[in-house]
Amino acid sequence: MRTKKPEIHLGLEGIYMAETSICSVNGIEGKLYYRGYSIEELAKHSDFEEVCFLLLNGYLPKEKEFLSFKDALVKERDLDPEVLQVITDTAGKGLPMDVLRTAVSLSAIYDPDVKDNSKEANMRKSIRLISKISSIVAAIGRVRDGEEYVRPEKKLGHVENFLYMLNGEKPSESERRMLDIMFVLHAEHSSNASTFSTIVTGATLSDIYSAITSGIGTLKGPLHGGADEAALRMMRAIGKPENTVKYINDALAGKQRIMGFGHRVYKAYDPRARIIRGYLEELREHASPEVENLTAIALEAEKLMIKKLGKAKGIWPNVDFFSGPVYTHIGIPSSLFTPLFAASRVPGWCAHMLEYWENNRLIRPLEYYTGKTNVKYISMTKR
Ligand code: CMC
């Protein structure tokens, strides 16, 4: 018997699944807050480690607490030899997000707290995940470049150490600061697709490694974290600023989506994109011809998209649109953009998991069945 058709929320659009005090997104006004602090304030004054503390604990740390938090992160940086071996064996041929997902899943086996699902153990595991995932991404980048793994350097901050492990040399202060801001901007974004799948997995009372592994698999898709690489690919395909208008018009006429535009929640300019755009304009003076060209294309595309779809359809640049030229300026290859998004989103995923477990409920939505019923089974030879 078929029940009356319920209201179906495709993509769970507009559905509230929990209360949270971690992050708020105002999609109409284009505002974003982590624990009540605006993203603009945090990008200006804070750094990734402090934002991790804020997301996980709910408040900004005092100096002593911050030092001990940073120390805990530093102690977890190095990779287990078995995890490193798998990265060494696979990163040259596998997709970086597949290698990352596998390495994170494998890391659970070497975690001393793997069987302990207490709050304290999950906080320790969160710190371990935040620390190690950046090292995994750096190791993937090294192997893909045919280079040896660079061991972490204790004296460096999180982002500086990441760039050191990736390039084998310390970054300049401006590169460090720029990437630190990118990490801050990507650290959290409420119940986005990857955070949701993290929570779905954790809500079965599975463990935090399984949950984060789910999140990484979800982030990989081009409608989510994979959009930054796709946006850069498009800018490269456009080639020259003067080709932009025709390229975008043709793509839209062919019903293609322009990656790095549009958002399920923001129907205004994504505040993260606005901040990244600001940095991009600042760095233009010192940019290489390649980055200058990408920037000119990006700004041309932005102008046209806003004119065509901004006010009319609420489609504005999102966090992924201007990221590519910024990462290129810092020297990060496009194959690492989405893994880097994952490395910076770990604190958000972990904070949500810890919060959700405080009031856990299995997530199990319904589907309205539209198929046949009571179909008679016919044996294979008579079909
Ligand atoms: N380019 C062109 N048209 C678009 C785009 C776009 N990027 N995004 C949405 N539209 C159109 C879409 O075709 C539809 O038009 P119509 O009403 O005529 O059929 C309308 O806008 C509404 O689209 P929707 O698919 O119902 O919107 P959604 O809320 O499901 O989409 C989205 C959200 C992010 C999947 C979508 O905007 C998109 O595909 N963007 C490109 C991928 C992208 O940049 N993703 C990164 C999102 S931000 C980072 C993150 O959180 O991961």
CATH of the domain at 322: 1.10.230.10
Using the mean position of ligand 1's atoms as its centre, give its distance from the Cα of residue 316 in Å: 10
Give residue-wise pLDDT tens across range 67-122.
999 999 999 999 999 999 999 999 999 999 999 999 999 999 999 999 999 999 99
Residue 261 binned pLDDT confidence (cut-offs 50, 70, 90): very high
Alpha carbon distance 89, 227 (integer Å) = 27
Give 311's pLDDT tier (boundaries 50, 70, 90).
confident
Q: Do 282 and 338 belong together in one domain?
A: no
CA of 325 from ligand 1 middle (Å) equals 21
pLDDT at 286: 87
Claim to verify: residue 46 and residue 163 sit in the same structural domain:
yes
The rounded mean pLDDT for the chain is 96
Q: Residue by residue, what is the 3-state secondary structure of 245-304?
A: HHHHHHHHHCCCCCCCECCCCCCCCCHHHHHHHHHHHHHHHHCCHHHHHHHHHHHHHHHH
Q: Which residues pair with 25 in a beta bridge?
A: 32
- End of a domain among 311, 329, 347? 329
Give the distance (Å) from ligand 1 centre to CA of residue 344: 23
CA–centroid distance, residue 304 to ligand 1 (Å):
16
Q: Separation of 190 CA from ligand 1 center, angstroms?
A: 18
Give the confidence band of 163 by pLDDT, cuts at 50, 70, 90.
very high
The two tokens of residue 43 are: 């990008």
For residue 378, is it within any domain? no
pLDDT tens figures, 331-342: 999 999 999 999
Sorting pLDDT into bands at 50, 70 and 90, what band is 1? low
Assigned domain for 242 exists: yes
Q: Is residue 4 a part of any domain in this protein?
A: no
344 Cβ closer than 6 Å to some ligand 1 atom: no
Q: Is the CB of 320 under 6 A from ligand 1?
A: yes
The whole-number pLDDT of residue 235 equals: 97
Residues 25 and 70 in one domain: yes
Residue 93 shares a structural domain with residue 105? yes
Is it the case that residue 2 has pLDDT exceeding 70? no
How far apart CA 263 and CA 225 sit, in angstroms, is 12
From the CB of 227, is ligand 1 less than 6 Å away? yes
pLDDT value at residue 284: 86
Looking at the CA of residue 225, tell me the nearest atom of ligand 1: 52
Half-sphere exposure of 334 (CA within 13 A, CB side): 17
pTM: 0.95
Residue (of 132, 125, 182) closest to 161 by Cα position: 132
**pLDDT tens, position by position, 13-24:** 999 999 999 999
* 263-309: pLDDT as tens digits: 999 999 999 999 999 999 998 888 999 999 999 999 999 999 999 99
DSSP characters over 185-224: HHS--TT-HHHHHHHHHHTTT--HHHHHHHHHHHHTSTTT
Residue 251 has pLDDT above 80, yes or no: yes
Measured N-to-C along each axis, helices 337-357 and 173-186 cross at an angle, to the nearest 10 degrees, of 40
Same domain, 305 and 198: no
Determine, yes or no, domain membership for 62. Answer: yes
Mean pLDDT of all residues in 132-159: 97
Inside any domain, residue 21: yes
Give yes or no for residue 308 CB within 6 A of ligand 1.
Answer: no
Centre of ligand 1 from the C-alpha of residue 263, in Å = 6
Q: Which residues are catalytic?
A: 224, 263, 320
Alpha carbon separation from 179 to 176, 319, 330, 342 (Å, rounded): 5, 14, 8, 14
Confidence check: pLDDT of 378 > 90: yes
Cα-to-chain-centroid distance, residue 121: 24
Contact, 35 vs 55, CB < 8 A? yes
Q: Given this model, what pLDDT does residue 4 score?
A: 86
CATH number, domain with residue 148: 1.10.580.10
Q: Report how many domains make up the chain.
A: 2
Adjacency order of strands within the sheet including 31-34? 23-26, 31-34, 37-38
Give the closest residue (by CA) to ligand 1 atom 24: 264
Q: Are residues 216 and 317 in the same domain?
A: no
Which residue's alpha carbon is at the smallest distance from atom 2 of ligand 1?
Answer: 257
Instruction: Using CB atoms within 10 Å of the CB of residue 215, give its burial: 0 to 12 exposed, 13 to 18 middle, 19+ buried.
Output: buried
| Residue 191 resides in a domain | yes
Residues 6+ apart with CB under 8 A from 254: none
**89 in the same domain as 35:** yes
Ligand 1, atom 23, residue with closest C-alpha: 262
Looking at the structure, tell me whether residues 204 and 264 fall in a common domain: no
What length is written for the chain?
383
- Which DSSP state fits 317? B
- Testing ligand 1's pocket by substitution, the residue of 189, 308, 315 carrying the most ligand atoms inside 8 A of its CB is 315
Instruction: Please check whether residues 24 and 117 belong to one and the same domain.
Output: yes
Separation of CA 338 from chain center: 7
End-of-domain residue from the set 286, 311, 329: 329
- Substitution candidate for ligand 1 out of 258, 263, 266 with most atoms within 8 A of CB: 263
268 contacts 314 by C-beta, under 8 angstroms: yes
Does the Cβ of 260 fall within 6 Å of ligand 1? yes
Cβ of residue 228 lying under 6 Å from some atom of ligand 1? no
In a domain, residue 383? The reply is no
Task: Look at residue 380 in the predicted model and tell me its pLDDT.
Answer: 97
Beta carbons of 250 and 306 less than 8 angstroms apart: no
Q: Nearest CA to 228 among 147, 345, 314, 306? A: 345
Ligand 1 centre and the CA of 184: distance in Å? 24
Ligand 1: does its nearest atom lie under 6 Å from the Cβ of 328?
no
Determine whether the shortest distance from the Cβ of 192 to ligand 1 is under 6 A.
yes
CA 334 – CA 328 distance, rounded (Å): 7
Closest by CA to 184, choosing from 345, 377, 35, is 345
Q: Which protein residue has the closest C-alpha to ligand 1 atom 47?
A: 224
Instruction: Supply the residue whose CA is at minimum distance from atom 50 of ligand 1.
Output: 224
| Domain limits for position 269 | 227-329
Which atom of ligand 1 is found nearest the CA of 270? 48
Same domain flag for 257 and 131: no
- The answer to whether residue 79 is domain-embedded is yes
53, 109: one domain? yes
Q: Are 275 and 181 in contact (CB under 8 A)?
A: yes
**Does residue 167 carry a pLDDT above 80?**
yes
Other beta carbons within 10 Å of 331: 13
Residues 110 and 242 in one domain: no
